[in-house]
């Protein structure tokens, strides 16, 4: 540990070497402003989205790059004002590992995406509410789909919310509960 020769304060690491927080206050404040500006410049938005439509990605890498949570299927990025959705593949007859009955309807071209909530009736709060109001609020929705259990996720691209419906599905314990299904259409 090093200390300032002028005031005996503990020195802190900066890009330009060790600095004293008291004696070099102005320089440190300028470095902090520069750091914040660089962070703002690196904020991801729909205009500079770092993934290519039709390409496949490791979900963990996507989550890290887009500042998504580690588990949730619906993720809101406040800085970029967009939603990221992960649709995981599952076997429709075995719900032990995934109680969500998400699916793609090839006749309508719509993805049926089940809202957040593993047990009991779902509510239109939190990310469910944000997704339900995405069209009105002008929030882009980026959609990633896993085609096979254990595989990488395809970046489908932007989708738009067509409709929200209520349905019955089993929860994580197999009990029937009300869920919200978000009908999503890919944006061409």
What's the number of domains the chain is made of?
2
User: What is the overall mean pLDDT for the chain?
Assistant: 84
Q: Is 49 within the bounds of a domain?
A: no
One domain, residues 24 and 87: no
pLDDT at 148 over 80: yes
Indicate the pLDDT class of residue 9, thresholds 50, 70 and 90: confident
One domain, residues 29 and 90: no
Q: Is 4 within the bounds of a domain?
A: no
One domain, residues 30 and 111: no
One domain, residues 104 and 27: no
Indicate the pLDDT class of residue 32, thresholds 50, 70 and 90: low
- Contacts within 8 Å (CB) and 24+ apart, 125-134: 127/72, 127/74, 127/75, 127/76, 127/83, 128/74, 128/180, 130/74, 130/76, 130/83, 131/74, 131/83, 131/85, 131/161, 131/182, 132/161, 132/164, 132/180, 132/182, 134/83, 134/161
Residue that wins the pLDDT comparison between 35 and 184: 184
User: Which domain, by its residues, includes 124?
Assistant: 56-186
CA distance 70 to 76: 13
Percent of the chain with pLDDT over 70: 85
Q: Is 81 within the bounds of a domain?
A: yes
């Amino acid at each position: 540990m090093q200390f300032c020769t002028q005031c005996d304060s503990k020195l802190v690491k900066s890009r330009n070497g060790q600095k004293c927080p008291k004696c070099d206050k102005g320089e440190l404040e300028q470095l902090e402003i520069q750091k914040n500006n660089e962070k703002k410049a690196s904020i991801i938005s729909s205009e500079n989205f770092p993934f290519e439509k039709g390409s496949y990605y490791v979900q963990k890498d996507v989550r890290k790059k887009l500042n998504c949570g580690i588990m949730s299927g619906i993720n809101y990025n406040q800085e970029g004002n967009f939603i990221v959705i992960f649709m995981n593949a599952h076997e429709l007859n075995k719900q032990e590992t995934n109680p969500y009955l998400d699916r793609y309807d090839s006749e309508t071209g719509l993805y049926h995406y089940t809202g957040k909530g593993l047990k009991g009736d779902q509510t239109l709060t939190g990310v469910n509410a944000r997704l339900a109001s995405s069209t009105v609020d002008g929030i882009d929705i980026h959609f990633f789909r896993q085609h096979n259990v254990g595989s990488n996720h395809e970046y489908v691209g932007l989708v738009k919310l067509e409709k929200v419906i209520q349905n019955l599905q089993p929860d994580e314990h197999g009990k029937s509960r009300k869920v919200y299904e978000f009908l999503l259409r890919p944006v061409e």
